[in-house]
Amino acid sequence: MKGARTGLVTLSLALALTGCKVVDTGDKAQADGAPAGPPPPPPHQMRAEMAAGDRLHTTMSGEDLFSNRCGACHLDWGMGTNLITKQQVALGRPPSMGLLTNRDDLTADYVKSVVRMGKNAMPRQTRVDVTDAELDKIAAYLGKGK
Amino acid sequence: MQLTLPPRMSPQQFDAAVKALQGAVGAGWVMTTDQDRDAYADIYAPGPETLWGASGAVAPSSVEEIQAVVRIANEHKLPLWTIARGKNLGYGTAAPRMPGSMVLDLGRMDKILELDPELGYCVIEPGVGFLDLYERIQREKVPLILSVPGNGWGSVLGNALDHGIGYTPYGVHAKNLCGMEVVLGTGEVVRTGLGAMTKNHAWHMFPFNYGPSWDQMFTQSNLGIVTKAGMWLMPEPDSSLELNLDIPEAEDIGWVVDTLTPLKLGGIIDQSIFIPSWLGKMVILGQRKDFWDKPGAIPDWRVAELLKEHKLGYWKVQIRVYGDENVNKAKAEVIKAAFKKHIATPMEEVWWRRGDPTNVMDTTLGVPSAVPLQMGDWVGGKSAHMGFSPVVPATSKHVLDQMKRSRKIISDHDVDFYASFTISGRFANNVNMLMYDRDKPEQVEAIKKLFNALIADAAANGYAEYRTHLGWMDSIADTFDFNDHAMRRMTEKVKDVLDPNGILSPGKQGIWPSAYADQRGKALA
């Protein structure tokens, strides 16, 4: 039971610290003395739009491609962000590292490997989901660890 | 994944077919490496992914390219497996029913062709995801809202065509489809409904053909490839009120359903009402091991403790009414009075008015999210889930009967009971989530055994699943046994006429063309 409560507080803290904007939705469950769950989720974060053109030879930036192709799970309060936040916190890193764009330890090769091979809950992405040209740009954008 | 060839196809014939496809759509959009085959595999596969392994994938970008692919498939006897965006998680993802099929990936056909706020509809291609449509609506401030399923990562049309459900007044997604364009197995293009007339203005408003109507024949179907369709969308309401109530005991679901169904049929509640059990809340709060670290199902006494500790009811009722504020207030009074007859706890009221912000978890206000998939983390590891989803009449008699039986079977197999009921009218979809870690073969085996037991039990008692995973498509089709499976025999006759070489999604929902009839019953989970 102690573990459960600690887990809750950790997740709550972790999500609060990822830099998510918190909206007051009037969560009365907390007011009547229930244990504090995670703070209310933030608004949907809009993804960058896909530019028209040949996706096999993309002219879009890595930043925009990451936002559009990976944004379903890896922006604020996305499924991927939530799970990675928990993993990073367990490793003693700050919760903000749940957002891939904040990570400074990713390499381009690692990003490519996880996108194509998958990892834990992360499914493998097809070349329709993300083309090789798009993945090159995304990997270069996220791969700050060189 | 190594190459699995389609039945009776030699490597040389396969190679010739691939070259022809490359000529039709461009070499970059025919994907046949081992890595590509892995990417199209079912990441939640209950068993080896090779059971449902694709030989590759081809991704056309237009109706003309689809027709070219179909011509080539006929010529080379190459079976295709059509997907929209391939995010059918829990039911097979992008993987084909018949090993060796070439996935026909329509993810590149992602145009929103019409978006009409006046009459509340859109015309879209299969590659349009819930997020794409949602963001287009937000950007252009179009006063329409979506009905989104639990997994908002997938395709709007793909979900509707597979009978997906959502939680707004437009929650029965297949009913929102109106007017389709379809490529048949012969390569011919047809338009359903009033679209059968060239340039008809009411194609996406009037849901019937002149004569027999065919739209639903292309849902959960391998009788054609839907290349675009009209989809009705709900006008954004002026206000919306959410009424929340925790319901203490498992058996209370009986009176809850008997209270809600008349309100639904009487027009007080318009939405499809989602009633998840407590575990739906817990899976977001942490992992199973945080709450119960022993193998086997969480015992009832521990469940009772957890509900107390976290101030949860066994069920969470979240009702949402939409529309004019005064009407919503009046509806709320009727709903509250109906519940007051059974429970003293007042309902929590959360108002939303047009212009108010929404958050990523506001599913019932049409915000798409993949976060509900996070529930897989409950078991940890390479987490996966399947849904055992019988449809039951929306009365306490049937709901309690189904729940008691499935709860006992799930408990006997030492698996956590995680049920939900979604009341969409006269019926309720009873989705039972079965979560497992794919890296633990004993868990996978236990879940399969459990799934088979649940199907057999439901069928013996007169209930069927509304949808299922690839590995059980034949088993579920077998349960539809009236007059020696007369419906399946009829559909297969139609299949052979419309698709003589049987190249379109053989085996989908247990419908096998003559050309691959020998594959029936193979590659089961």
Residue A49 has pLDDT above 70, yes or no: yes
Residue B151 has pLDDT above 50, yes or no: yes
Helix (H, G, I), strand (E, B) or coil at B193: helix
Has residue B3 been placed in a domain?
Answer: no
| Interchain proximity B376–A121, CB inside 8 Å | yes
Query: What pLDDT shows up at residue A27?
Result: 40
Query: What pLDDT shows up at residue A2?
Result: 35
Has residue B185 been placed in a domain?
Answer: yes
Helices (H), B266-359: 279-285, 288-291, 300-309, 325-340
Q: Count of CB atoms within 10 A of residue B257's CB?
A: 24
Q: Which residues pair with B123 in a beta bridge?
A: B114, B230
**Distance separating alpha carbons of residues A138 and B107, to the nearest angstrom:** 19
| Interchain proximity B107–A116, CB inside 8 Å | no
Residue B377 near chain A (CB below 8 Å) = yes
SS3 labels along B216-240: HHHCCCCCCEEEEEEEECEECCCEE
Long-range contacts of A60-68 (CB under 8 A, 24+ apart): A60/A134, A60/A137, A61/A137, A61/A141, A62/A137, A62/A138, A62/A139, A62/A140, A62/A141, A62/A142, A63/A141, A65/A130, A65/A134, A65/A137, A65/A138, A65/A141, A66/A100, A66/A101, A66/A138, A66/A141, A66/A142
The tokens describing A32, both together, are 């009547």
Of B358, B65, B205, B419, nearest to A24 (Cα)? Answer: B358
Are the CB atoms for A30 and A37 separated by under 8 Å? yes
Of B43, B38, B55, nearest to B1 (Cα)? Answer: B38
Which residue range forms the structural domain that includes residue B450? Answer: 239-467
For residue range B259-315, what is the model confidence (pLDDT) as tens digits? 999 999 999 999 999 999 999 888 878 888 889 988 788 998 999 999 999 999 999
Q: Once rounded to an integer, what is the mean pLDDT over residues A26-53?
A: 70
Query: What pLDDT shows up at residue B168?
Result: 97
Are the CB atoms for B203 and B193 separated by under 8 Å? yes
Going by DSSP bridges, is the β-strand pair B427-437/B390-393 parallel, antiparallel, or unpaired? Answer: antiparallel
**Low-confidence winner among B211-215, B267-271, B319-323 (lowest mean pLDDT):** B211-215
Query: What pLDDT shows up at residue B368?
Result: 96
Q: What is the mean pLDDT of chain B?
A: 95
The last residue of one of the domains, among B192, B207, B235, is B235
* Residue A127 φ/ψ, nearest 5 degrees: -80, 0
First to last CA, chain A: 42
**Low-confidence winner among A25-39, A69-83, B261-275 (lowest mean pLDDT):** A25-39
Q: Once rounded to an integer, what is the mean pLDDT over residues B385-400?
A: 95
Helix (H) / strand (E) containing B435: strand B427-437
- Write the CATH number for B506: 1.10.45.10
Looking at the fold, whether B246 and B141 belong to one and the same domain comes out as no
Has residue B207 been placed in a domain?
Answer: yes
**By percentage, how much of chain B surpasses pLDDT 70?**
100
| CB burial string B395-428: b at 16+ within 10 A, e below | bbebbbbbbebbeebbbebebbbbbbbbbbeebb
Q: What is the mean pLDDT of chain A?
A: 81
Query: What pLDDT shows up at residue B421?
Result: 96
Q: Which residues pair with B349 in a beta bridge?
A: B243
Are the CB atoms for B181 and B198 separated by under 8 Å? no
Q: For this structure, is B467 an active site residue?
A: yes
Looking at the fold, whether B254 and B367 belong to one and the same domain comes out as yes
CA distances (Å), origin B313, targets B253, B304, B371, B399: 11, 9, 22, 18
Residue A105 has pLDDT above 50, yes or no: yes
Has residue B71 been placed in a domain?
Answer: yes
Looking at the fold, whether B136 and B62 belong to one and the same domain comes out as no
| Interchain proximity B57–A116, CB inside 8 Å | no
The last residue of one of the domains, among B446, B467, B488, is B467
Residue B484 near chain A (CB below 8 Å) = no
- Write the CATH number for B301: 3.40.462.10
Helix (H, G, I), strand (E, B) or coil at B50: helix
| Interchain proximity A83–B105, CB inside 8 Å | no
Give which of A127, A129, A130 to mutate to test B binding, by max B Cβ within 10 Å.
A127
For residue range B4-36, what is the model confidence (pLDDT) as tens digits? 999 999 999 999 999 999 999 999 999 999 999
Q: Which of B320, B466, B488, B516 is catalytic?
A: B466
For residue range B234-245, what is the model confidence (pLDDT) as tens digits? 999 999 999 999
**Distance separating alpha carbons of residues B399 and B318, to the nearest angstrom:** 18
Are the CB atoms for B281 and B418 separated by under 8 Å? no
Q: Give residues 287 to 316 of B whose Cβ lies within 8 Å of A.
A: 287, 290-291, 305, 309-311
Looking at the fold, whether B311 and B410 belong to one and the same domain comes out as yes
Q: Which of B44, B91, B134, B170 is catalytic?
A: B91
Has residue B343 been placed in a domain?
Answer: yes
Distance from CA of A71 to the nearest CA of B (A): 10
Q: Per-residue confidence at B365, pLDDT binned at 50, 70, 90?
A: very high
Looking at the fold, whether B65 and B193 belong to one and the same domain comes out as no
Looking at the fold, whether B357 and B504 belong to one and the same domain comes out as no
Query: What pLDDT shows up at residue A22?
Result: 34
Cα B373–chain centre separation: 13
**Distance separating alpha carbons of residues A12 and A32, to the nearest angstrom:** 18
Looking at the fold, whether B357 and B247 belong to one and the same domain comes out as yes
Contacts of A121 in chain B (CB under 8 A): 373-374, 376-377, 382-383
Distance from CA of B39 to the nearest CA of A (A): 5
| Interchain proximity B383–A126, CB inside 8 Å | no
| Domains (range + CATH), chain A | 2-21+60-142 (1.10.760.10)
Helix (H) / strand (E) containing A134: helix A132-142
Residue A7 has pLDDT above 80, yes or no: no
Looking at the fold, whether B219 and B321 belong to one and the same domain comes out as no
The tokens describing B270, both together, are 């318009």
Q: Per-residue confidence at B525, pLDDT binned at 50, 70, 90?
A: confident
| CB burial string B470-500: b at 16+ within 10 A, e below | bbbbbbbbbbeeeeebeebeebbeebbebbe
**Distance separating alpha carbons of residues A70 and A113, to the nearest angstrom:** 14
Q: Once rounded to an integer, what is the mean pLDDT over residues B464-482?
A: 96
Q: Which of B438, B467, B488, B520 is catalytic?
A: B467
Q: Name the closest residue on chain B to residue A78, using Cα atoms.
A: B371
Distance from CA of B162 to the nearest CA of A (A): 20
Q: Per-residue confidence at A21, pLDDT binned at 50, 70, 90?
A: very low
Residue A36 has pLDDT above 90, yes or no: no
- Write the CATH number for B52: 3.30.43.10
For chain A, the C-alpha Rg in angstroms (whole number) is 17
**Distance separating alpha carbons of residues B127 and B297, to the nearest angstrom:** 39
Distance from CA of B400 to the nearest CA of A (A): 29
Q: For this structure, is B466 an active site residue?
A: yes
DSSP string for B446-499: HHHHHHHHHHHHHHHTT-EESS--GGGHHHHHHH--HHHHHHHHHHHHHHHHH-
Looking at the fold, whether B336 and B407 belong to one and the same domain comes out as yes
| Interchain proximity B39–A126, CB inside 8 Å | yes
**DSSP conformational letter for B81:** E
Contacts of A131 in chain B (CB under 8 A): 28
- Write the CATH number for B175: 3.30.465.10
Of B109, B108, B61, B53, nearest to B81 (Cα)? Answer: B53
Going by DSSP bridges, is the β-strand pair B239-247/B234-235 parallel, antiparallel, or unpaired? Answer: unpaired
Looking at the fold, whether B356 and B505 belong to one and the same domain comes out as no
Are the CB atoms for B251 and B203 separated by under 8 Å? no
Looking at the fold, whether B506 and B455 belong to one and the same domain comes out as no
Q: Name the closest residue on chain A to residue B111, using Cα atoms.
A: A52
Q: Once rounded to an integer, what is the mean pLDDT over residues B39-47?
A: 93
**DSSP conformational letter for B172:** B
Residue B135 near chain A (CB below 8 Å) = yes
Q: Per-residue confidence at A6, pLDDT binned at 50, 70, 90?
A: very low
For chain B, the C-alpha Rg in angstroms (whole number) is 23
Q: Name the closest residue on chain B to residue A37, using Cα atoms.
A: B285
Looking at the fold, whether B251 and B229 belong to one and the same domain comes out as no
Has residue B4 been placed in a domain?
Answer: no
Altogether, the residues listed in chain B come to a count of 525
Residue B40 near chain A (CB below 8 Å) = yes
Of B26, B36, B89, the CB nearest to A127: B36
pTM (two decimals): 0.93
Are the CB atoms for B509 and B221 separated by under 8 Å? yes
Q: Give residues 245 to 284 of B whose Cβ lies within 8 Å of A.
A: 284
Q: Is B355 exposed, middle or buried, given 0-12, 13-18 or 19+ CB atoms closer than 10 A?
A: exposed
DSSP string for B120-152: TEEEE-TT-BHHHHHHHHHHTT-SEE----S-T
Contacts of B290 in chain A (CB under 8 A): 3-4, 7-8
**In the block, residue with structure tokens 């085959």:** B37
* Residue B481 φ/ψ, nearest 5 degrees: -105, 5
Q: For this structure, is B314 an active site residue?
A: no
Contacts of A13 in chain B (CB under 8 A): none
Contacts of A98 in chain B (CB under 8 A): none
Number of domains in chain B: 4
Of A40, A41, A47, the CB nearest to B131: A47
| Interchain proximity A129–B59, CB inside 8 Å | no
Residue B359 near chain A (CB below 8 Å) = yes
Query: What pLDDT shows up at residue A38?
Result: 59
Query: What pLDDT shows up at residue A13?
Result: 37
**By percentage, how much of chain B surpasses pLDDT 90?**
89
| Interchain proximity A46–B376, CB inside 8 Å | no
**Distance separating alpha carbons of residues B489 and B321, to the nearest angstrom:** 43
Long-range contacts of B360-364 (CB under 8 A, 24+ apart): B360/A41, B360/A42, B360/A43, B360/A44, B360/A45, B360/A76, B360/A77, B360/A78, B361/A41, B363/B148, B363/B150, B363/B152, B363/B166, B363/B167, B364/B167, B364/B168, B364/B242, B364/B271, B364/B274, B364/B318, B364/B320
Residue B375 has pLDDT above 70, yes or no: yes
**DSSP conformational letter for A35:** -
| Interchain proximity A43–B357, CB inside 8 Å | yes
Has residue B312 been placed in a domain?
Answer: yes
| Interchain proximity A23–B377, CB inside 8 Å | no
Are the CB atoms for B229 and B179 separated by under 8 Å? yes
The tokens describing B271, both together, are 């939405």
Has residue B284 been placed in a domain?
Answer: yes
CA dihedral B257, B263, B269, B275 (to 10 degrees): -10
Distance from CA of B134 to the nearest CA of A (A): 9
Helices (H), B320-365: 325-340
Query: What pLDDT shows up at residue A3?
Result: 37
Give which of A89, A126, A132, A135 to mutate to test B binding, by max B Cβ within 10 Å.
A126
The last residue of one of the domains, among B467, B482, B507, is B467
